[in-house]
Structure 1
Amino acid sequence: MTTLSRKTVLVTALLTTAAFPAAAEPVFNRIATFPVASNLPEGKDKLSATSAEIITATDDGMTLIYSDSPLGAIGFVDISDAKAPKAGGALMMDGEPTSVTSAAGKALVAVNTSESKAKPSGRLAIVDVATKKIESTCDLGGQPDSIALNKDKTLGAIAIENERDEEVNDGKIPQMPAGELAVFQVKNGTVDCSSIKHVTLTGLAGIAPEDPEPEFVSFNDQNEIALTLQENNEIVIIDAATATVKTHFSAGSVDLAGIDTKRDGALKFTGELKGTPREPDAVKWLDNNRLVVANEGDYQGGSRGFTIFDKTGKVLYESGASFERAVANIGHYPDKRSSAKGVEPEGLEVATIGGQKYIFLLAERASVVGVYRDTGAEPELVQILPSGVSPEGAVAVPSRNLLATANEADLGEDGGPRSHVMLYELAEGEAAYPQIVAAEKDSNPVGFAALSGLAAVPEKSGQLFAVSDSVLGMQPTIYTIDATRKPAVITETLTVKRDGQPAQKLDIEGVAVDEKGWFWLASEGNTEKLVPHALYHVNPKGEIKEEISLPKELAANEIRYGFEGVTIVGSGDDATLWMAVQREWKDDEKGFVKLVSYNPKSKEWGAVRYPLDKSEAGWIGLSEISAHGDSVYIIERDNLVGDAARLKKLYKVAISDLKPAKLGGELPVVKKIEAHDFLPELKTATNGYVLDKLEGFVFDASGKAYAVTDNDGVDDSSGETLFFQVNLVGTN
């Protein structure tokens, strides 16, 4: 087993006190989650795609307004009680809203009305927030993207992107027509269309100078506009009063080291990329001389971090890979994006809250918000906040110590999380997230993903084992967790090996420890991917010493949803493995699944039947089994998320009731007793949406109970991992 160094443990200690503050300091915590589908107009299919993208707040800080491109609307959220946001409805915009801001009771909405990428068009719509009616519109002469106002809300600017068509010439630029910047005057939230001035941006960038692709705009207090040309990798400074370009400079490139560059089912932060163009998306001024950009990349670059420039183009700070590596430490690194642009920092907000200026960095692919303290020099990472899937925009409400994020991904059609607006508050207390982190090894992140089963370390209170599932197909891992720390810390990792190499064709969903300290692993099969359903006996070095295939009575009736959890009942020659089968197999009566037994000494298989609860939607299945005292404890859950989730429970079955019958015959039905309902904890642990995959449960050596969720490797998931102690009555 790979033991992390003392230095690494100290690094983690610093991580938990610096990046995740102590109770004495004010911290940001999520206080509410608003599902955007709640704003769907009456009569709309509730599974209609929605997407909160760019978000703003009214001057009084009581209403949030977001753009919703798929719906073709802007949405309103009443946050007069920030901990209980209410649906304010949606206003259809007769086009695609790309961005929104607000002033004096009005919403200023940039709307794309393009016939095609080659024939772009758009307009600026002025909406009365109280009546939710469009009062006036201005033609923009092209396809808009970002919109921003100056501090006193007398001047505005819109990036007219006229975006490229990625289906034409492999998406290469130039593609006409060229983009530009629109600058206009604002009075009491209303725009005089005749005041619109168009700023020509051609001939500035070193990349496709004839085709500028404006992305994001921001004002400083001197009415200077910072504008990113993302595909052109250029930043332009414009004087808003005269609508003229003052200066411009290349965003440049970054040499990255200590990153994961291969999409290979393994977390290895040892790669490098040389000369990666920054290609910034969002830009925000920190003061009148400094600006910060999020280096998402959209064309040929994306440097995975953020950069602070002065307005002459001098680099004052470059984050390099540091943000992405910090994200990996909390389990939010998306390995499937390794060969692309990693975590993709995209959105930004800068605000002074509680007397401190913060930079909020949104990582689209990691679904987190990095919170940095602006020190005037090197910014300090103070927290990483969980967000919804694919955070796109953010707005601070400093007068109320609030931050809101707009999370664009809507996976409802596939049964996944919906688009959400999430609210955070700066207040005294403890950071609720992360609940588990991984210590570094040799100054490199270890990371983790998809924790799918738990087991107790024998005779060590608060020490647990966890396993990764098929997400890490080239790095199947057994983790050692120190649950006595807050957050819990992964202190050791053990790669499961076959013939000296990381074992392939595994989907580890359960782990148990036998009397000699060896591991039993339950692997869930998938015939289509040639992954067998099997049990594996693994020594303390991680070497597979025995593989036990299913007997023909089980193999003939298997489906993809197999073993989810393994535990040991009894000792010596009577020690028996019990595995929970997740869903009904071909020979099972609907509403019943098997608990399968295997005795390693006698090689005998058997099973009993377990009755599932009923569900009106989705499916019900098992995801863990753990023996303790005179019972086995079983997680039974639906596969639903968010407001749709109904069943996330722990049941217990008396060991005396586990009387396995021979396979292929009539199986006895066990009696189950509810031991715990997890839904309240899943709703309030971090005030996010309810996660579907509660996958691990165990009692430690002293009888304390713990549970963990599987984050699916941040694939169609927010990446959030909940790890928490479960208070059960009468189990010790």
Structure 2
Amino acid sequence: MSLRRTTSAVVSVVAVAAVGAVPTAAAAHGRSQEFRRLSTFPAYLNSSIDDTAAAEISTVTEDGRTVVYTDSPGKRLGFVDISNPSAPKPAGTLAVGGEPTSVAHLGRLLLAGVNTRTSFTAPSGKLVVIDSATRAVKREIDLGGQPDSVAVAPSGRYIAVAIENERDEDAGGGAIPQAPAGWLAVIDTRTWKVSRVDLSGLSAVAPTDPEPEYVSINSRDEAVVSLQENNHLVVVSLGSRRVLSDFSAGEVTVTQVDTTDDDKISLDGTITAKREPDGVAWINDDLFATANEGDYEGGSRGWSIFSKKTGKVVWDAGNSLEHLAVAHGQYPDKRSDAKGVEAENVAFAVLNRTPYVFVNSERGNFTAVYDVSNPAKPRFKQLLPTTNGPEGVVAVPSRNLVVVSSEEEDASIGIRGTVQVYGFGSPRNSALVSRNDIPWGALSALSAVPGRRDRLASVTDAVYSPTRVLGLTTGGVIDSELTVTKDGAPVGYDVEGLVVRKAGGYWLAVEGTGAGKDPNLLVRLNARGEVQEEIPLSADVAAAITSNGLEGVTEVGASVWVAVQRAVKGDPANTARIGRYDTVSKTWSWLLYPLETAPTGWVGLSELVAVDANTFAVIERDNQRGTLAAIKRIYTFDVPKTWTGTPTVSKKLVKDLLPLLRADGGWVQDKVEGLAVAGNGRTYAVTDNDGLDDATGETVFLDLSRLL
């Protein structure tokens, strides 16, 4: 009698997502914090800063003190000492003779799946068994195919390896089937012999070519295997090497998502797609979670919980993961016409007596945390920012830690593969979040709101169009938006400065393209966001500005002041311009501001704030991220009442922001772009996340107390 059971899992997501998926907008998407990031370890610290080093899948040794990660480009494993999780240390690497795809641990042993293939049609691989203490290779086991995920049974009796034998995306348009098929390898740890479990003939999609992607094992020695391209899930008894059940991961219709890459986030689209799960993780012996990334024809932009007994969906995230990304400013708009945030991986753990599911968003660069005390109604707890491309996620219950490994590596723009460690506690800095899913990101300026103690305003730059002025509380909740219009139609500027006028309305500092067609402009809006006036710079300065133009604006009486980010042509090196526009005489006058120099990259201005009639504050920063960031500072300077020519001002250091940017253990952001003194007398600063374009997407909001 066959024990196989096939069940179709098709669901309308609108109803399912509404059940326990996300707190109400009034709760600002779970703003209460339970976890905080403790540290970020760039993988290159195990080699050299010029080396290409990624961190894809991680495990933690039995004692909970060493992270071991796969570094595919380097064909090695990397080791990180997390004895002090707030100060991780490089602990070396180990070459494994091929491309490591996954790593797990069994007691003192490390188990690395290694891809050794020379072609897609002749896949090969091995399981490398390593003593974690001595790093001696104890044995190498031929797997007979290309491995992907490796999992160890809680009992320690079995190791399961997903033998993917992945398709060649350049052959036949990447369509499947493509021989050879994949299977599940089961290794008995008493004998170290490999058994093959055939997974062919189960799925409706390419049944002759199963491509196992991920595997997880419960306490009954049952493995759940995701066949991602086949959109199928299989439950296998490791003891008997038999398929217990299998079922389609299903197709879903998800509404109110962005489906167009058009420089604006519009939650008004609908997709119908196969789930195509990547990562899987047991929640208990009967239920498991899937990260529905999509790779072939699908991807549902969320995650699900399935019952192994019925094959039915117990809960589905619907559009909620996308909406969370939007509310937290981490939605990747350029992926709207593809697979959105892409839920890549999922992990389960009980920490502090609470059962959690952790969901990695590969494109949103975050890990979403859920309380699954009731698996039928998961409760979103918080969103943890990561670096780019979070792939691996593993918990360390003995130490109440969570480790996320991110694989994206592009040293030329300051993006590095990292291992990040999280633990319980409140972050030292606030994170912005919006109500009612107001889309936001790329915040290029900050302004006080005259007459309001607890209000600030910000603005989006050229990443998004049209331009919008955003209203927020000093507590970091974005709760209003105003679209800028010109001649009755929405308009998009590259706004890099904003000040709310005492008389009503706004001044915008618009950065131009230098020698290009778009000029640097001072733009006046009324209170409805309608363009009233566009003011060009004086002709001599306008002609001398290259690619780094206006970066701040403020107002004092009848004068509007602006900052130019870097030196203009003909000025002394390491200077920037401060401009004053007299709204009565319609004339410009200019000062020089002395800039610092940095070990790497350039230094420029990012903001301008009037402290009083004669004193101004600026943000002076370099263009570096992470470990290379050196200058993120607030300076003040006084201006003369009258002057001729272009005199140089004297500046005074008020605050070094680097310690604060490092305080939450993250990858230091390069663009500190907004600064304001609110009506409550406190100073606030904010970073520009570039809308996730070649950036982590994290936004840091700083309360600097009564600084200015």
State the TM-score, normalized to the length of structure 2: 0.94
Which residue does 1:408 correspond to in 2?
A: 407
- Output the CA distance in 2 between the equivalents of 1:75 and 1:244: 35
Paired residues of 1:50 and 1:68 also in contact (CA < 8 A):
yes
CA contact (8 A) 1:305 1:321 kept: yes
Q: For each residue in 1:311-330, what CA deviation from the matched residue of structure 2 results, as whole angstroms up to 9, or x when unmatched?
A: 13111111100121022111
Contact 1:267 1:446 in 2 (8 A): no
Structure 1: how far apart are the matches of 2:140 and 2:642? Answer: 74
Q: 1:711 aligns with which of 689, 695, 702?
A: 689
Aligned to 2:295: 298
Structure 2 equivalent of residue 89 of structure 1: 92
Deviation at 1:530, TM superposition (A): 4.0
Partner of 2:489: 501
Query: Is 2:73 the counterpart of 1:70?
Result: yes
Q: Look up the equivalent residue of 1:99 and give its one-letter code.
A: S
- How far is 1:690 from its partner? 1.3
1:558 Cα offset (Å): 2.1
SS at the partner of 1:470?
Answer: coil
Q: Report what 2:185 is aligned to.
A: 182
2:203 is the counterpart of 1:219:
no
Q: 1:334 aligns with which of 332, 335, 340?
A: 332
Post-superposition CA distance 1:134-158 (Å, at most 9, x none): 2221111111110001002220111
Equivalent residue for 2:561, pick from 578, 581, 592: 578
For residues 453 and 414 of structure 2, what CA distance do their matches in structure 1 show?
36
- Confirm whether residue 538 of structure 1 aligns to residue 522 of structure 2: no
Answering whether residue 45 of structure 2 is matched by residue 38 of structure 1, we say: yes
Does the Cα contact within 8 Å between 1:294 and 1:307 map onto a contact in 2?
yes
Deviation at 1:586, TM superposition (A): 2.2
Aligned-pair CA distance for 1:352: 0.8
- Superposed CA deviations along residues 379-413 of structure 1, whole A, max 9, x for unmatched, are 1111111122211011111111111111111221x
1:728 deviates by 4.8
Separation in 2, partners of 1:144, 1:659:
73
Residue 453 (str. 1) matches residue 468 (str. 2): no
Alignment of 1:286 onto 2:270: no
Q: Which runs of structure 2 are paired with 1:234-273 in the superposition (5 Å)? A: 234-273=232-271
Superimposed CA distance per residue, residues 333-369 of structure 1 (whole angstroms, 9 cap, x where no aligned partner)? 1111111111111111101111111100111111111
- Once the two structures are TM-superposed, the CA of residue 67 in structure 1 deviates from its matched residue by 0.6
Q: Decide whether aligned partners of structure 1 residues 20 and 705 sit closer, same or farther in structure 2, where only a CA change above 3 A counts.
A: same
Pick from 627, 631, 649: which aligns with 2:615?
631
Secondary structure class of the residue paired with 1:493:
strand
For 1:620 and 1:376, how far apart are their aligned partners in 2? 50
TM-superposed CA distance for 1:601, in Å, is 2.1
Matched, 1:478 2:469: yes
Give the equivalent residue in structure 2 for 1:647: 631
Output one character per residue of 1:652-692: Cα deviation in whole Å (capped at 9) or x when no partner. Answer: 11133x7565xxxx5211111111110111010x2212111
Q: What residue is the counterpart of 1:383 in the other structure?
A: 382
Question: SS where residue 556 of structure 1 aligns?
Answer: helix
Verify the 8 A CA contact 1:526 1:560 in the aligned structure 2. Answer: yes
Aligned pairs for 1:66-215 within 5 A:
66-187=69-190, 192-193=191-192, 195-215=193-213
Tell me, yes or no, if the aligned pair for 2:203 and 2:231 is still in contact at 8 Å: yes
Alpha-carbon offset, residue 606 of structure 1: 2.0
Q: Distance in 2 between matches of 1:687 and 1:659?
A: 46
Q: Percent of counterpart pairs with the same letter? A: 41
For residue 247 of structure 1, what is the amino acid of its counterpart? S
The equivalent residue for 1:5 is none
Q: What's the counterpart of residue 15 of structure 1?
A: 28
Deviations 1:679-715 (A, max 9, x none): 111010x221211110000111243211000111122
Taking a change above 3 Å as real, the CA distance of residues 209 and 131 of structure 1, as seen in their structure-2 partners, is same
Aligned residue among 679, 696, 703 for 2:658: 679
**Aligned residue number for residue 20 of structure 2:** none
Q: Are the equivalent residues in 2 in contact too, given 1:155–1:183 (CA < 8 A)? A: yes
> Residues 83 and 515 (structure 1 numbering): CA distance in 2 closer, same or farther, change over 3 Å?
closer
Measured in 1, the distance between the counterparts of 2:451 and 2:38 equals 38
Aligned with residue 56 of structure 1, among 55, 59, 73: 59
Q: How far apart are residue 21 of structure 1 and its match?
A: 2.6
SS in 1 for 2:28: helix
Q: For 2:376 and 2:227, locate their aligned partners in 1 and report how far apart those are by CA, in whole Å.
A: 26
Take 1:15 and 1:536, find their aligned partners in 2: how far apart are those partners? 33
2:306 alignment counterpart: 309
The letter of the residue matching 1:381 is F
- Give CA deviations for 1:271-296 in whole Å, capped at 9, x if unaligned: 111x3110100001111111110001
C-alpha separation between the residues in 1 aligned to 2:136 and 2:579? Answer: 62
Does the CA-based 8 Å contact 1:439-1:490 persist in structure 2? Answer: yes
Q: Which residue of 2 aligns with 1:620?
A: 603
- For residues 455 and 264 of structure 2, the distance between their equivalents in structure 1, rounded to whole angstroms, comes to 25
Please tell me the residue identity of whatever aligns with 1:503. Answer: V
- Take 2:514 and 2:319, find their aligned partners in 1: how far apart are those partners? 39
Q: Alpha carbons of 1:649 and 1:432: their partners in 2 closer, same or farther (altered >3 Å)?
A: closer
1:223/1:241 contact within 8 Å kept: yes
CA 1:337–1:659: 2 relative to 1, 3 Å: farther
Q: Measure how far apart 1:434 and its partner are.
A: 5.3
SS, match of residue 661 in structure 2: helix
Q: Deviations over 1:577-615 (max 9, x none)?
A: 221111222222211111122222212122111111122
What runs of 5+ residues in structure 2 fail to find an aligned partner? 1-22
Measure the CA separation in 2 of the matches of 1:539 and 1:288. 61
1:357 aligned onto 2:344: no
**Greater Cα offset, 345-354 or 598-607:** 598-607
Alpha-carbon contact 1:148-1:219 (below 8 Å) kept: yes
Question: Are the structure 2 counterparts of residues 38 and 559 from structure 1 closer, same or farther at C-alpha, using a change threshold of 3 Å?
Answer: same
Cα shift at 1:431: 5.1
AA in 2 matched with 1:725: D
d(CA) in 2 for partners of 1:260, 1:431: 30
Distance of 1:28 and 1:660 partners within structure 2: 54
Q: For residue 209 of structure 1, what is the amino acid of its counterpart?
A: P
Distance in 1, matches of 2:355 and 2:581, equals 60
8 Å contact 1:411–1:716 — kept in the other structure?
A: no
CA distance in 1, matches of 2:591, 2:423: 49
Q: How many Å separate the matches in 2 of 1:600 and 1:175? A: 70
Check conservation: 1:579, 1:596, Cα contact below 8 A. Answer: yes
**Aligned equivalents of 2:136 and 2:516: distance in 1?**
54
Q: 2-side partners of 1:288 and 1:619: how far apart?
A: 55
| CA 1:153–1:531: 2 relative to 1, 3 Å | farther
Q: Which moved more, 1:545-554 or 1:670-679?
A: 545-554
Cα distance in 1 for partners of 2:318, 2:706 equals 45
Counterpart residue identity of residue 611, structure 2: H
For residue 617 of structure 2, what is the amino acid of its counterpart? Y
Asked whether the 8 Å contact 1:267–1:475 carries over to 2, the reply is no
Per-residue deviation, 1:208: 1.2
Counterpart residue identity of residue 508, structure 2: L
Shifted more, 506-515 versus 337-346: the winner is 506-515
Question: Does structure 1 retain, via aligned residues, the 8 Å contact 2:450–2:501?
Answer: no
Aligned residues: 683
Aligned AA (1:283): V
Q: How far did 1:164 drift?
A: 1.2
